[in-house]
Amino acid sequence: MRRMKSFFLIASVCMILSGCSSGYDSEKVKSEESVTAAVNEEKYEIALVSFFGTTQDHSFGQATWEGIQLYAKEHDITYKLYQPEEATSDNYIEKIDLAVENGAKIIVCPGFLFETPVFIEQDKYPDVKFVLIDGQPHNASYTETRINDNVLSLVFSEEQAGFLAGYAAVKDGYKKLAFMGGEWRCPP
């Protein structure tokens, strides 16, 4: 358990640091993804099941993928990217199943769209570790939320970024500030 926690801590730091990198080399990322995709027969220890989109978005998806790559290379661990064809829970579950079939022991799922798939898969694969970034596992009807021992749910404290932005504005001399709040409500 201690080793798993240290992995998640290092992986989180890698994702943050990779998001702060000075440059973006799309050819390098494309060639690494091509190499990863070309050797499907191998077993992979870490898998990223990405949301419907790309790992070259200069944002969340790219930072997660680059963090996984960095960690895996530093620790000589195999890794693979799985990208669903559609943004549905069924497609996410299909890719998670494929990742487990290909030997994944750790599966990273970035974003709230994975909350229901991870809720289902955490029971199905108790020996696989799941990292759910920016979400908490719940059933499709939002009536049950559960985080099993094999799931690490990383939820950002978004209000802290707002506080720091306000503090920076005041330090820069701005004195007339406003706040616009909002509330996220889950569908019934």
Give the span between the Cα atoms of 39 and 155, in whole angstroms.
33
35 domain-assigned: yes
Share of the chain above pLDDT 90, in %: 48
**Helix then strand then coil, % of the chain, to nearest 5:** 45, 15, 40
Tens digit of each residue's pLDDT (9 = 90 or more) over 1-30: 444 444 444 445 444 434 444 344 444 444
Dihedral of alpha carbons 71, 73, 76, 78, sign: positive
Number of separate domains in the chain = 1
40 domain-assigned: yes
117 domain-assigned: yes
183 domain-assigned: no
20 domain-assigned: yes
Domain residue limits at 90: 2-158
85 domain-assigned: yes
Q: Return the structure tokens found at 33.
A: 């993804």
DSSP string, 22-87: S---HHHHHHHHHHHHH-TTS--SEEEE--SS-S-SSSHHHHHHHHHHHHHHHTT--EEEE--SSS
Poorest-confidence range of 2-6, 54-58, 94-98, 151-155? 2-6
pLDDT score recorded for residue 25: 45
167 domain-assigned: no
pLDDT class for 176, splitting at 50, 70, 90?
A: confident
173 domain-assigned: no
CATH of the domain at 147: 3.40.50.2300
Q: What is the pTM of this model?
A: 0.69
What's the one-letter identity of residue 154?
Answer: L
pLDDT class for 39, splitting at 50, 70, 90?
A: very low
